[in-house]
Amino acid sequence: MIRDLNEDPLLRTSRRVAELTAELEAANRELEAFSYSVAHDLRAPLRHIDGFARMALEKSRGLDESLVKQLSIVVQAAGTMGRMIDGLLNLSRVGRAELQRRPVDMAGLVEKARSQLGPEAARPTLRWEVGALPAANGDPELLQLVWINLLSNALKYSSRRPQPEIQVGTQTADDGKVVFFVRDNGVGFDTRYGGKLFNVFQRLHRQDEFEGIGIGLATVRRVIERHGGRVWAESRINEGATFYFCIGEESADTPKT
């Protein structure tokens, strides 16, 4: 490629950044397609493993107790792997879905998300505090996933409190942007490891403490990044956690000129 040696350095740098950004976005799309293909192809053999293990368990009368226990472990592990594959497929769909931005009633999305959380969200001892939420410009279906995952996360990690509290609201950043937040009084986490929270299959608590596969917050990050925004969290151990997110005016998918 021939370059004009008299080209302005700032313009040249800007063009190079745009080229690298385009290459990175293309690589991400290829990675998402690969993840989807791998996850999809794994489902069939996993169903066979689960099915044969369950059949063996049903006919396990008279078998050695240790063998029955091992078969139960296989069934449990297959179930966990199935949920992980489903989560990976859903995450891939979030990354591949066409973004349909329009004015979104965020308060309405929060109420809808709460209604989908099940009876645990209606516990008499659970205190909800939902402030006034402004509308946002985004994809309503994808933003619904953000609220469902953040609220279910808050509900899960505050569930062991005698009086769980979940607060939803907004604040204004220094640059004037609206920042939405979900705050709980749950177990919290060590902020030294907070960077792992939004990675796929990363969890800061053991499976026997709190159920989950570590895909919900990764989904939140993917949706928010596609909206040109960012998401982050603050917490202290045993003092709850607050998850923040803001939405950009332009989508990360918008072609750069």
Q: What is the pLDDT of residues 52-106, one digit of tens each?
A: 888 888 877 777 788 888 888 888 888 777 777 777 777 777 877 788 999 999 9
Q: 239 and 116, same structural domain?
A: yes
Residue 254 lies in a domain: no
Residue 179: phi, psi to the nearest 5?
A: -115, 120
Picking from 80, 96, 112, the residue at the C-terminal end of a domain is: 96
Q: 180 and 130, same structural domain?
A: yes
Residue 74 lies in a domain: yes
User: How many domains in the chain?
Assistant: 2
Sign of the dihedral defined by the CA atoms of residues 91, 97, 99, 100, in that order? negative
Q: 237 and 125, same structural domain?
A: yes
Note the pTM of the prediction, 2 decimals. Answer: 0.71
Q: What is the pLDDT of residues 180-223, one digit of tens each?
A: 999 999 998 888 877 788 887 776 665 555 666 678 899 999 99
Q: 232 and 115, same structural domain?
A: yes
Domain that residue 210 falls in: 102-246
Q: 82 and 107, same structural domain?
A: no
For residues 49 and 150, what is the distance between their CA atoms, to the nearest angstrom?
33
Q: 81 and 25, same structural domain?
A: yes
Q: 113 and 81, same structural domain?
A: no
Which residue, chain included where needed, has tokens 């998402």? 32
Contacts of 99 (CB under 8 A, 6+ apart): 139, 142, 226, 227, 251, 253
For residues 38 and 116, what is the distance between their CA atoms, to the nearest angstrom?
30
Residue 141 lies in a domain: yes
Strand 102-104, strand 136-138: pairing? antiparallel
Task: Please return the burial class of 141, using the count of CB atoms within 10 Å of its CB with bins 0-12, 13-18 and 19+.
Answer: middle
Residue 253 lies in a domain: no
Which residue, chain included where needed, has tokens 């040249």? 12
Residue 126 lies in a domain: yes
Picking from 34, 62, 96, the residue at the C-terminal end of a domain is: 96
Q: 150 and 172, same structural domain?
A: yes
